[in-house]
Structure 1
Amino acid sequence: MADKLLDVNGLTVSVEEKEILHDINLSINKGETHVLMGPNGAGKSTLGFALMGSPKYTLNSGEILFNGKNINDETPDKRSKDGIFLSFQSPLEVPGLSLSSFIRNALEKNRGKRIRLWDFKKELREAMELLQMDPSYSERDLNVGFSGGEKKKAEILQMLLLNPKLAILDETDSGLDVDAVRTVSKGVEHYQKNRDGALLIITHSTGILESLKVDYTHIMVNGHIVKTGDASLIDEINEHGFEKYLELYAEKF
């Protein structure tokens, strides 16, 4: 029997008093890969931020259970320590803090102990090689002057080193060229095959999904999950887009 990792029940979320998500139900078991698709403005990113505990988003009703524990009131750093990771659609630039220092600090907080510099550098070097990242980027200020592709690689680099129980990837392939998508996808595929975590991939395209085994696909329209199926739903969206679901649920919602 599969082990339940995330269980979202009746979740309603607002931003600045405007309700964005309505009665969301979502269950993810350990080792599963779920894809959340929908047109722009459907509420996909809002769900990612709500699961991570961003203070900008207000949970009006429902509950988020992670490993069987209610985390509704937990801060983002506590959720991170619990094992939740969110890759941002638009990663922030942080002048004065190197990429390597940022990741090492995050690792030490999550593990609750100091990490020997030699051991950390070895882990970092191996992950950067996998993502075809120039080693010099590790000592550059976090995301400052990085291209879009390098910023997304830096996000996946953090995921590989933090090794979360649940990795939420928000539009990780957005705005990337074909080569960058291929490299980032390689990192995500490595996580899927070699780690014991689960993935929630938020996207409105399918480039990053081509090399992944997808267990469930969810379609979101106007803040509602309107359809759940297997990987064949991705092919349907590739061929027909979201028009069918927009038409079906326009009046209902």
Structure 2
Amino acid sequence: MSLSGKVIIVTGASRGIGKAIAIRVAAEGAKVVINYLSNSKTADAVVEQIGADRAIAVQADASKITDIDRLVDATVAKFGKIDIVIPNAGILLVRDLEATSEEDFDKAFAVNVKGPYFLTQRAARHMPAGGRVVLISTSVNSASWISAGYLLYASTKGAIDQMTRVMAKDLGRKGILVNAIAPGPTETEMFFEGKSEQLLDSLRKTNPFNRFGQPEEIASAVAFLCGSDSSWVSGQVVRVNGAMA
């Protein structure tokens, strides 16, 4: 188990990709903090699946500094340290330029950019050399087929790409590696929300494998970046999209 003894925070870990990541790194031996926003039942179910001796659920709004501090404090109080941070929590607001309100803009950047930025800042104070940060970007940033409605979302994830590139140099001075995963369309509740079957079918056909990714496939790539085999990988955005983009 390559992550035995490691303590990992995963935000937005009660469902979707975050849940798959939490379960996968736990299977590799890690102790996991399952962060959730509102659904304690689903978070508790993930803890039960992993085992209460190696996982805890912590409610926190990952876009708010006070909640981020509480999440970090709870992790250190329970496990004594932090080795890896995976700021997975995010929102997908489909907005083109005309449709974007100031409230939309502030909410999207608070969850998708501010949260990962300050969680990493706070957690890094407790992380030893050899620690890892795995951010969540998107293949939308490089897809030629992208529609105007992804403007706001892509703007937030573009910030994640730059954070990955520069934060790797910043935290590299402490021996901490920083990378990002850029999933393509993946079968999660957030991705399916608001999309017609016709649209979903057309998106599947843009992929040479004629399917979407599975959360477990994204989690496998994250597990690689958390483990010792990625010891010379930092500052990179790894696309996990089945050649879709």
Q: TM-score band, normalised by the shorter chain?
A: 0.3 to 0.5
Choose between structure 1 and 2: higher strand proportion: 1
**What's the TM-score once normalised by structure 1's chain length?**
0.33
Higher-Rg member (1/2):
1
TM-score (norm: length of structure 2): 0.34
Structure of greater relative contact order (alpha carbons < 8 Å, 6+ residues apart): 1
